[in-house]
């Protein structure tokens, strides 16, 4: 728990949303987005979902598992796929959805792994770590390419 960090990051997020700036929230960022929109979190996934899907393993190394992308969601269009292997490293996740948020991906155990903000052209949040899989040829690069393309388009 770090109240100062929470206040700072929630303030940055609020400013970005107010300015309608592109947001790509990763892991804790997804959790902050959900909480900022009035949602809640599961404090410890194994207590709620069991251990059929490892979302994090000691000593805190990322684990790989698949996620199912929602049909018609922005992430599905970015990845051009219905399923994706991700690098997971979290023990908390969305419980009650925040206002205006919709799930965009799910783990096999039902954990929400991605969110999108309705009506926002590029507010995406993923619970996984795409930066850990951003090597050449990786589908994860699609997230970063989409963000860069949007920034270029907005700069014109």
Q: Could you tell me if 75 and 141 are in contact, meaning their C-beta atoms sit under 8 angstroms apart?
A: no
Q: State the catalytic residue, choosing from 27, 55, 90, 116.
A: 27
Q: Could you tell me if 75 and 104 are in contact, meaning their C-beta atoms sit under 8 angstroms apart?
A: yes
Q: State the catalytic residue, choosing from 70, 85, 91, 129.
A: 129
CA distance 94 to 111: 8
Q: State the catalytic residue, choosing from 44, 131, 149, 153.
A: 131
Residue 129 annotated to the active site: yes
CA distance 110 to 119: 25
The residues carrying an active-site annotation are 27, 129, 131
């Amino acid at each position: 728990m770090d109240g100062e960090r929470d206040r700072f990051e929630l303030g940055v997020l609020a400013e970005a949303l107010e300015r309608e700036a592109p947001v790509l929230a990763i892991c804790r960022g997804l959790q902050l987005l959900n909480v900022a929109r009035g949602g809640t979190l599961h404090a410890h996934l194994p207590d709620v979902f069991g251990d059929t899907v490892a979302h994090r393993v000691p000593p805190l190394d990322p684990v790989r598992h698949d996620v199912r992308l929602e049909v018609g969601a922005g992430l599905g269009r970015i990845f051009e796929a219905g399923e994706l292997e991700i690098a997971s490293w979290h023990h908390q996740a969305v419980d009650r959805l925040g206002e205006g948020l919709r799930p965009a991906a799910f783990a096999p155990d039902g954990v929400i792994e991605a969110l999108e903000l309705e009506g926002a052209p590029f507010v995406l949040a993923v619970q996984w770590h795409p930066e850990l899989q951003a090597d050449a040829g990786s589908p994860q690069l699609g997230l970063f390419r989409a963000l860069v393309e949007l920034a270029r388009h907005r700069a014109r």
